[in-house]
């Protein structure tokens, strides 16, 4: 099983990052092994009745990396390429992210191998409910709390909440986060990840003495994270010069009207064809000149091929795992790009998910301003701590962020000891 996981390109990348950091921290072999491998890998098959009356069987996975610091927390992804190795890698990154942010959680992730664009809403509902039912013995407010990720949104969370609550015979809002506000979702959760990406980009601009007002940004992926990052950046006075999604890439040197683009998207479901910008090559977009480049789609898009050609001053990783270890080495050697590593840059989502869980457990709700202010305080603290750690240890931001997260988990493992 270890070999199977290591042969998966995404898990292999997460494991390689882990090994580098474990060497840096000088972790002893016993703790290193316990931190590296996931606690539980759950795979289920789900027969679903399709709209045409046929039956299709889907595969779904949930990986719980560690339960040592609290329940696991992490999203549920719908994507045709999801497999157990990718989900295990994402669960591992969630683990370090929660520890870095000081949240009382371990990392988890889920995924269903499907193309949501090819499924009707009712097919998605049957699939989501079936998945929730199949894994309901392994989740719960004190065990595993899911949230939205690529291809899922608050509607999917509402179906999971309803399925779990029906099984329990009572309303259990704290079993899931990222749900609609009407079902006790947190105000500010939908925009939290993108808002955090924009907030930290502004902090980074500040550090390298570039005025925020008028700074330019390019965003890959215009879903939950990318679109909300764009909206907050525009509110800060920044200019979004290029955007891409699965449909293509668009460019306007004067700045794209994000409001008009969102309206275009509602009609066409893609950024391609937006009349107020020109079509460009999506791969070339990544190496165009800008102050902030935000990969906010999928993993492994900044590689050893395009890393030498990047012309951004800040790389703000909205997505999980967008930069390969080889590209990391190149960026580190170049020394002219300020990296905001994924486990910090997109931590706004899990942080407000934590706020949502806390509000649910207390049966209390905060205002959106309270939520976003608390979020900014937490992100700023983690950002400043990371800057200090890296300065003191003379290390890259990636290494510093992962080292802080991994060391926190390793410390808990040592103190709890090993159950015989
Ligand atoms: P989403 O499904 O809402 O959006 C994904 C976007 O990426 C879509 O616009 C899609 O068209 C685009 N995309 C897909 N393939 C692409 C390609 N090859 N080239 C360009 N664009 C492409 O997903 P999301 O929730 O915005 O998540 C995006 C990333 O952020 C993921 O890595 C996810 O794990 C991470 N993330 C999300 C959250 C959250 O709260 N939603 C939190 C932390 C991290």
Kindly report the pTM of this predicted structure: 0.95
Write the residue with the smallest CA distance to atom 18 of ligand 1. Answer: 246
The b-or-e profile of 312-325 (16+ CB within 10 A means b, else e) is bbbbbbbbbbbbbe
Question: pLDDT > 70: what percent of the chain?
Answer: 100
Write the residue with the smallest CA distance to atom 40 of ligand 1. Answer: 349
223: CA distance to ligand 1 center in Å? 6
Write the residue with the smallest CA distance to atom 21 of ligand 1. Answer: 245
Q: Please list, in sequence order, all residues whose beta carbon lies within 8 angstroms of the beta carbon of residue 83, skipping any fewer than 6 positions away.
A: 8, 61, 111, 113
DSSP 372: H
Q: What is the DSSP string of 301-330?
A: -B-TTTGGG--EEEEE--SSS-B-HHHHHH
| Cβ atoms of 333 and 113 closer than 8 Å | no
Q: Where in the chain is the domain with CATH 3.40.50.10860?
A: 2-176
- pLDDT (tens place) for every residue of the chain, 420 residues total: 888 999 999 999 999 999 999 999 999 998 999 999 999 999 999 999 999 999 999 999 999 999 999 999 999 999 999 999 999 999 999 999 999 999 999 999 999 999 999 999 999 999 999 999 999 999 999 999 999 999 999 999 999 999 999 999 999 999 999 999 999 999 999 999 999 999 999 999 999 999 999 999 999 999 999 999 999 999 999 999 999 999 999 999 999 999 999 999 999 989 999 999 999 999 999 999 999 999 999 889 999 999 999 999 999 999 999 999 999 999 999 999 999 999 999 999 999 999 999 999 999 999 999 999 999 999 999 999 999 999 999 999 999 999 999 999 999 999 998 877
pLDDT digits (tens, 9 = 90+) for 309-360: 999 999 999 999 999 999 999 999 999 999 999 999 999 999 999 999 999 9
For ligand 1, whether the C-beta of 188 sits within 6 Å is no
Substitution candidate for ligand 1 out of 245, 248, 271, 282 with most atoms within 8 A of CB: 245
Quick count: other Cβ atoms within 10 Å of Cβ 221?
24
Q: Helix, strand, or coil here: 120?
A: coil
Calpha distance 338→400 (Å, rounded): 13
Residue 269: the pLDDT is: 87
For ligand 1, whether the C-beta of 298 sits within 6 Å is yes
Residue 419: the pLDDT is: 78
Q: Where in the chain is the domain with CATH 3.40.50.720?
A: 192-345
What CATH topology corresponds to 192-345?
Rossmann fold (3.40.50)
| Cβ atoms of 98 and 112 closer than 8 Å | no
Catalytic residue positions, numbered? 109
391: CA distance to ligand 1 center in Å? 32
With respect to CATH, is domain 2-176 assigned 3.40.47.10? no
Calpha distance 383→402 (Å, rounded): 13
The arrangement of strands across the sheet holding 239-245 comes to 278-280, 248-251, 239-245, 216-220, 290-295, 312-316, 338-340
7: CA distance to ligand 1 center in Å? 24
Measured between alpha carbons, how far apart are the two ends of the chain, in Å? Answer: 23
Q: Helix, strand, or coil here: 42?
A: strand
Vertex 191 angle, CA 247 and 226, to 5°: 25
**Positive or negative, the Cα torsion across 257, 259, 264, 269?**
positive
Hey, what are 267's tokens? 């009609």
Residue 329: the pLDDT is: 95
Q: Helix, strand, or coil here: 93?
A: helix
Write the residue with the smallest CA distance to atom 4 of ligand 1. Answer: 223
Task: State the burial class of residue 223 (Cβ atoms within 10 Å of its Cβ: 0-12, 13-18, 19+).
Answer: buried
| Cβ atoms of 298 and 319 closer than 8 Å | yes
30: CA distance to ligand 1 center in Å? 36
């Amino acid at each position: 099983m270890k070999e199977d996981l290591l042969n998966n390109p995404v898990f292999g990348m997460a494991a390689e990052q882990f090994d580098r950091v474990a060497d840096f921290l000088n972790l002893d072999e016993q703790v290193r092994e316990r931190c590296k491998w996931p606690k539980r890998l759950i795979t289920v098959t789900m027969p679903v009745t399709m709209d045409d009356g046929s039956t299709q069987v889907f595969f779904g996975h949930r990986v719980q990396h560690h339960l040592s610091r609290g329940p696991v927390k992490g999203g549920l992804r719908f994507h045709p390429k999801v497999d157990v190795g990718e989900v295990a890698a994402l669960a591992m990154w969630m683990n370090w992210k929660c520890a870095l942010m000081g949240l009382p959680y371990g990392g988890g992730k889920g995924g269903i191998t499907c193309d949501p664009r090819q499924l009707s809403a009712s097919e998605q509902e049957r699939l989501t409910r079936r998945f929730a039912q199949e894994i309901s013995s392994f989740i719960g407010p004190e065990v595993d709390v899911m949230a939205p990720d690529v291809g899922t949104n608050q509607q999917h969370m509402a179906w999971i909440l309803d399925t779990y609550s029906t099984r329990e015979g009572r309303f259990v809002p704290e079993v899931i986060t990222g749900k609609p506000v009407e079902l006790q979702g947190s105000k500010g959760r939908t925009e939290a990840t993108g808002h955090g990406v924009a907030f930290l980009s502004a902090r980074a601009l500040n550090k390298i003495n570039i005025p925020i007002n008028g700074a330019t940004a390019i965003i890959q992926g215009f879903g939950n994270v990318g679109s909300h990052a764009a909206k907050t950046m525009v509110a800060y006075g920044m200019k979004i010069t290029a955007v891409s999604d699965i449909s293509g890439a668009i460019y306007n040197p004067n700045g794209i009207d994000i409001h008009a683009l969102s309206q275009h998207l509602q009609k066409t479901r893609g950024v391609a064809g937006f009349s107020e910008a020109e079509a460009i090559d999506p791969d070339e977009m990544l190496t165009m000149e800008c102050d902030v480049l935000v990969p906010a789609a999928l993993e492994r898009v900044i590689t050893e091929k395009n890393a030498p050609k990047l012309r951004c001053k800040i790389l703000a990783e909205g997505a999980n795992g967008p930069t390969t270890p080889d590209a990391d080495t190149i960026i580190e050697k170049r020394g002219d790009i300020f990296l905001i590593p994924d486990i910090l840059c997109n931590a706004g989502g899990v942080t407000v998910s934590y706020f949502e869980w806390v509000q649910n457990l207390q049966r209390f709700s905060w205002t959106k301003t309270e939520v976003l202010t608390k979020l900014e305080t937490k992100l700023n603290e983690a950002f400043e701590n990371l800057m200090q750690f890296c300065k003191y240890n003379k290390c890259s931001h990636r290494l510093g962020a992962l080292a802080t997260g991994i060391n926190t988990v390793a410390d808990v493992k040592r103190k709890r000891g090993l159950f015989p």
